[in-house]
Structure 1
Amino acid sequence: MRWRPPEPLSEQEKQFVKRMGRKGKLFAFLRQHRHELLDEAFQEELEGMYRDTGAGKTPVPPGLMAMATLLQGYLGASDATMVELTVFDLRVQMVLDCLGQTEPAFSQGAFYDFRHRLIRKHMDQRLLERTVEVAHQRMSWEARQTKSLLKVAIDSKPLEGAGRVEDTINLLAMQRARW
């Protein structure tokens, strides 16, 4: 299942991008260039991480999950928080093409499973490399500025396989259960 969000910015998205200025450059970049970052060839690579059996739940497009993974790394959000941001954060909604949705774009379990599949198949590094590649091709920023902006997302442990981003409440509950 491919993710095919619209390429042109809506009037509302144009206003968001305009307001983002320096503080929202990565959100604006990802929204404006998501069709290049997640082109047909790269989405095919992402789909290659899955078996095609037709069994199980209706899949969430890997392209959408990949974009959410980049946002999670940038924001330093837990899986649970990332799910909620798809409902409450207009910047996240804009990038993920779910503006105005009242239900999450994906479940916490699906997101966790996707990220671990991404890591197991070494596609996490491929996603980051692809993001930097598109940024260098399309952005007018100096190479150093591009690197420093994207470094925030690239340095994220969830994207590098260092472990699951745990929800603080879940960690506290597990710790309490041990006492």
Structure 2
Amino acid sequence: MNGMCKQSANISKIYLLNVGISKEHIEKTILSLNIENVILFSSVQMRDDTISYAGHLKEIGLNVLDMVFVDPFTEKSVDEMIQSMLRIVDQYPSDDIEIIAGLTGGTNLMAISLGIVAFIKGLRCNYVLNKDADFIISINTFEKLSPEMTLIDVESYFKGGF
């Protein structure tokens, strides 16, 4: 982690993005949603590629606030990824900064981990439908849930419909 949260004074919105081999979802999200600030999550195996890609994003005008490298291929991967992601999110004051999770990209376990973080923190999410369609699905499910809800309350909420 680069620990760049000192820049947060001028930031109103941050996108959390998983980076893997395919990057079309990031380009589509940037173009469609007018993204300015990103935090990238990638695997340790993709470290060099992700650092290079972060350079590209900076060249096209994005602020890459941080990069977090995780190992998504161990028994403890999900736990470690969630812990890393939560540590990063907690560096930015939620009252002042909207944080949005991009659930597309990276490994399946990275997407699951970021989804769990979005659930815990009540974040809005999005998902790029596919690399050929110009369509981003906005997912506001987690924003509707209250931190005071028990797991039974959450289950009832989902079973009861929206």
Mark the structure with the bigger radius of gyration. 1
TM-score, normalising length: structure 1:
0.26
Which structure is higher in helix share? 1
When you count strand as a share of all residues, which structure comes out higher?
2
